[in-house]
Copies of this chain bind each other. A is one copy, B any other.
């Protein structure tokens, strides 16, 4: 049968959904979800929601939510765009700034979705290798980004968990002749962030999500902020009503409950530090993490073996094959009980 798809689309591998194993009693530490539920205010919103509102289209630009988010950043509504998850915003960014004659530069390793989005646009991808066992950021990254029109900086980085130093990130923003997207999905777990760069540089977009620190991966809500000219341009690419009414309402209620979020984040950070200590006791090498996960290399350097051992005992983590990441696994920080289960299973193969 003849394919009418664009050749770029035919060339991409089929979509493979993330693993959602159906085992009983599973400890799921593979997709960096928050182990704690969102604010109880969310349940109140749902309980009292007037379903007649659903017959109307939602606010197309989520103004009330944007006002709430922008105020906390010292920005205005016109500095901010909300998306159906960060995925939605990444799609807009790639459609806006990449093309066969507009390459994108990404660090390696980083979020594996970026090259897929580039492929859909037929855009070349320049891969800038992080250096050494601590995945540090090269001084000449902008030179390596050559004529790219978009440079993506994931901070903290996934799957490694480390952060490019703020001053290095600032220099990248100053020197790069193109858009710098700083993907701050995990910033709430880090010691610092770069949100202020969005107000400082006209070529910088900072992106955040409700999927991690806000315990709302199921709601699909991300946002990006920067110069109004960037936001206006991205708005053109946005689906007219990209955020449904319920998502807008529960996101507002959850975001407003700052102490709930802060409590969850504090618990996760404390557990992350405990997890790192325990992994070191079992002779793992661990990249110092600023996120809600750790990249850990077992003493035998066999990431696949570590992943398989855990899975056999109903603990699911993430394994990224390949030369750079294949020697380790990425472990999401869970509740104390989940982390105990993980450590107990690890001890069988890697005794203290």
A residues bordering B, Cβ < 8 Å? Answer: 1, 3-6, 9-10, 12-15, 17-18, 20, 31, 33-38, 40, 42-43, 46-47, 49, 51-61, 84-85, 87-88, 91, 95-99, 102, 113, 120, 149-150, 178-179, 202-203, 211, 215-220, 227, 229, 232-233, 235-247, 250
Contact = CB atoms under 8 A, between A and B. Distances in A.
Nearest to A248: B218
Contacts of A220: 58, 241-244
B57 A211 contact: yes
A54 B218 contact: yes
A40 B49 CA distance: 12
A38 B60 contact: no
A105 to B, nearest CB: 13
Contact of A46 (B37, B49, B237, B238): B49
Nearest to A216: B54
Contacts of A91: 239
A218 B20 CA distance: 28
Given A18-B60, A57-B33, A217-B56, A237 B120 contact: yes
Nearest to A254: B54
Nearest to A13: B236
A247 B246 CA distance: 8
Given A3-B229, A6-B97, A15-B238, 20 more contacts: A4-B178, A4-B203, A6-B95, A13-B236, A14-B235, A17-B61, A37-B51, A38-B51, A42-B54, A43-B49, A47-B47, A53-B218, A54-B219, A55-B217, A84-B84, A84-B244, A87-B240, A95-B120, A244-B244, A247-B247
A5 B35 contact: no
Nearest to A61: B17
27 contacts: A4-B179, A5-B96, A5-B97, A5-B233, A6-B96, A10-B233, A14-B235, A15-B236, A15-B240, A17-B240, A37-B54, A43-B49, A53-B218, A55-B218, A57-B218, A58-B217, A84-B242, A85-B239, A85-B241, A85-B242, A87-B239, A87-B241, A95-B95, A218-B246, A219-B245, A220-B242, A246-B247
Top 3 closest pairs, chain A to chain B, by CB: A218-B245, A37-B52, A87-B239
Nearest to A43: B51
B42 A236 contact: no
A33 B4 contact: no
A145 to B, nearest CB: 13
A57 B240 contact: no
Q: Which of A54, A178, A229 is packed against the most chain B CB atoms within 10 Å? A: A54
Contacts of A85: 239, 241-242
Contacts of A60: 17-18
